[in-house]
Amino acid sequence: MPAATTALLFLINGSTTISQADSPAVPPPGPVRLPADGGAFPMPPLASPGSGGGSGRAGGTTAPSTQSLATAAAAGVGGAVTLTVGDKGIPERILAAYRRATERMAAGRPNCHLTWPLLAGIGKVESRHGAGHAISPAGAVTPSIIGLPLDGVGGRARVTDTDNGRWDGDTVFDRAVGPMQFIPSSWASAGSDGNGDGQRDPNNIDDAALAAAGYLCAYNRNLSDPAQLRTVILAYNPSDDYVRAVLAWMTGYAGSGATPLPTPTPPPAHPGGSAPAAPAPSSPAPPTSPAPPAAPTPAGTPAAITVTPRPEVDATPAPAPSASCPTITIVADSPAAAPADLDPAVTGYDALDITGVLSTAGIPAGGAPVSVPIDATLFDSRGYLITSTRTVVIADARAGTPARRQLARFSGHDIGEAGAAGALTARLTPEPASIGCAAQPATAFDITGLNAADFAGWSTSPASLRDRLAHYNRLGQIDAPTTDALDALIPGAVTGPGTLTPFLDRLADATPVEVSDEARDRLTSIAQRLNNPPVQPIPPTPDPTPAPTSGPPSAPAPAPAAPPPAPAPAGSAPASASTPAASEPTRTSPTPLTDLGGQLGGLLTVSK
């Protein structure tokens, strides 16, 4: 949370110009405070040279040193910090705000060398990227993220009220506000309008990210200098533990990248019009639960689907429960996966449903039902995000034996479009009951036996390829010149095999700087399906011999021999060895491809 500075940001026609008076290179430090949730500064796993790595705590003795982290972060390289799949996740809307603010600083203050991993490191430590809060398309984060009072207690600085409670609702002491945790007095001088709506709101991620960028780049700083980088982070919050945490996350994002997650949306409205994270005891949410998903209507005999628990590295331990912070966990070995055919008019499964049992042991005896939002993510075997979703489930300790509930419903379109081969990994994380409650442990498991060609998104089109290309460009995973070059090679329609060969060749020639591994992998999978369209079967030729008009009825003609099964598509799980009975319906699925996609995918893979 930055201190007030003499840097002033003026927005003229959407552009940012920064003027500053002659001043020392070091601004006055902001007040010391804890993260918005009141806990310790979060740290990613830190790898010690010559060791197998381990979990670091802010201010601990785990190598590497803070200075080496600053050197790596300033240079934009990883190495010392390798983020886990779960740690890399950032809501897409928030990640876009970090990138836009960085681009505006690059245009207005190129000598600052600000990078988005620095803003992401600060956002992670300050508010965990707004975890548990909804984000509107315009960038508004709701409900407001309000920090602890700066009342001089517990090591916090003492800052009396400066805004009459306008931003933080506290007329006695100031509190840090918003996803980047500005105190009101700092916002009064450094606040920015990042989305061009004429307002400066610390609760808006566009405004907050641009204000943080302007603060970091003030005083003609060069953030590629490790010493200046450490200095400005210390000014944002004068705590050595804080500096170490931000540098660790910054280094991790620089080396491992970020996984964009779907932007959280508000949970369903509760009675009375409010939507709290957990219902108050006096107004419990109805103890009803979503009905278990209907069994899919299989049109064939799919391979057996297996769910195998996946141990989490440096897993979050279950916190001690309390009346205000109940502990909700997913019972071990309870998750199950089943494809769902929701719309018979759509070819392929529409969804993949995850069911399981919530443990209510962490709800105090006699406690009211708890509304539990569950954040769920699905990754392919390479760790690339396929899709994400958020489901609100009611946990009721008064209902006796916990029932199996639907915990997540993943998009079948996203699964099919991804065309992933091998096991998929799901990760489900119950959100804390409210701000100030400790993080809940996640449950991860591998899902095998799925075939991407059985899901709705497998059949694709040039328009879908173009949309996916634009998506990765918006996320910064494909640079603008390469995006334009690839877009020009996408035809309006597929006219036959080889139509997408120029696109695939250009994609293969792109460097890792131009195209990320994830974007290359996904675009290759889609383009290969378009490049090898299914061959339409030739209808059988009718027998020219006329049927007899008299005499005893002839014996029925033998059924034609079934054609040999088509080879499994690249990017799909092995087909079941069993054969459906003649009376069973057969699912209509897109004709699979040969393994050409797998061969080309291996050639196109670029290691980091």
| Domains detected in the chain | 26-261 (1.10.530), 306-453 (2.60.40.2550), 462-533 (no CATH)
* Cα–Cα dist 385/255, whole Å: 17
The DSSP annotation for 367-429 comes to PPPEEEEEEEEEE-TTS-EEEEEEEEEEE-GGGSSPPEEEEEEEEHHHHHHHT--S-EEEEEE
Query: Residue 364: helix, strand or coil by DSSP?
Result: coil
Q: What angle do CA 426, 279, 172 make, to 5 degrees?
A: 110
Predicted pLDDT of residue 301 = 42
Predicted pLDDT of residue 518 = 85
Predicted pLDDT of residue 61 = 41
* Cα–Cα dist 213/448, whole Å: 44
* Cα–Cα dist 382/380, whole Å: 5
Do residues 177 and 145 lie in contact, with contact meaning Cβ atoms separated by under 8 Å? yes
Residues ≥6 apart with Cβ < 8 Å to 233: 122, 242, 243, 246, 247
* Cα–Cα dist 308/305, whole Å: 10
Looking from the CA of 318 toward its CB, the CA atoms found within 13 Å total 17
Predicted pLDDT of residue 79 = 65
Query: Residue 515: helix, strand or coil by DSSP?
Result: strand
* Cα–Cα dist 575/301, whole Å: 9
DSSP code for 113: -
- Rg, C-alpha atoms of the chain: 28
Per run of 10 residues, the mean pLDDT along the chain (length 608 residues) is: 40 31 44 65 67 39 72 76 85 91 88 94 93 86 89 84 90 93 90 88 95 91 92 89 92 88 60 35 34 36 77 63 77 92 88 90 71 87 85 77 87 91 89 69 90 90 91 82 94 88 94 86 92 57 45 43 40 36 36 38 36
* Cα–Cα dist 362/367, whole Å: 10
Do residues 226 and 70 lie in contact, with contact meaning Cβ atoms separated by under 8 Å? yes
Contacts 24+ apart (CB under 8 A), 161-165: 162/188, 163/188
Do residues 83 and 90 lie in contact, with contact meaning Cβ atoms separated by under 8 Å? no
The residues with which 352 forms a beta bridge, in sequence order, are: 339, 410
Predicted pLDDT of residue 320 = 73
Nearest to 208 by CA among 114, 145, 131: 145
* Cα–Cα dist 453/20, whole Å: 59
Which residue in this structure is represented by tokens 């079967």?
A: 537
Distances (CA, A) of 590 to 347, 414, 463, 567: 8, 15, 18, 12
Distances (CA, A) of 479 to 474, 475, 483, 513: 9, 10, 6, 8
**Single-letter code of the amino acid located at 252:** G
- Core vs surface per residue 375-407: b (16+ CB within 10 A) or e: bbbbbbeeebbbbbbbbbbbbbbeeeebeebbb
Residues ≥6 apart with Cβ < 8 Å to 455: 339, 348, 349, 352, 412, 413, 415, 416
Query: How many Å separate Cα 464 from the centre of its chain?
Result: 21
Element (H, E) at 177: strand 175-177
- pTM exceeds cut of 0.85: no
Q: CB burial class (10 A; 0-12, 13-18, 19+) of residue 310?
A: middle
**Single-letter code of the amino acid located at 218:** A
- State the sign of the Cα–Cα–Cα–Cα dihedral 121, 123, 128, 134: negative
Dmax over CA atoms of the chain, in Å, equals: 111
Distances (CA, A) of 339 to 352, 516, 547: 4, 30, 46
The DSSP annotation for 148-167 comes to EE-BS-TT--B-B-SSTTTT
- Residue 180 structure tokens: 């980047």
Query: How many Å separate Cα 329 from the centre of its chain?
Result: 21
Nearest to 511 by CA among 420, 607, 418, 599: 607
Predicted pLDDT of residue 534 = 56
Query: How many Å separate Cα 415 from the centre of its chain?
Result: 15
Do residues 185 and 170 lie in contact, with contact meaning Cβ atoms separated by under 8 Å? no
DSSP code for 112: G
- What's the 3-state SS for 254-309? HHHCCEEECCCCCCCCCCCCCCCCCCCCCCCCCCCCCCCCCCCCCCCCCCCCEEEE
Phi-psi label, residue 324: left if phi above 0, alpha if psi -120 to 50, beta otherwise = alpha
Which residue in this structure is represented by tokens 């290969």?
A: 528
Nearest to 450 by CA among 337, 552, 355: 337
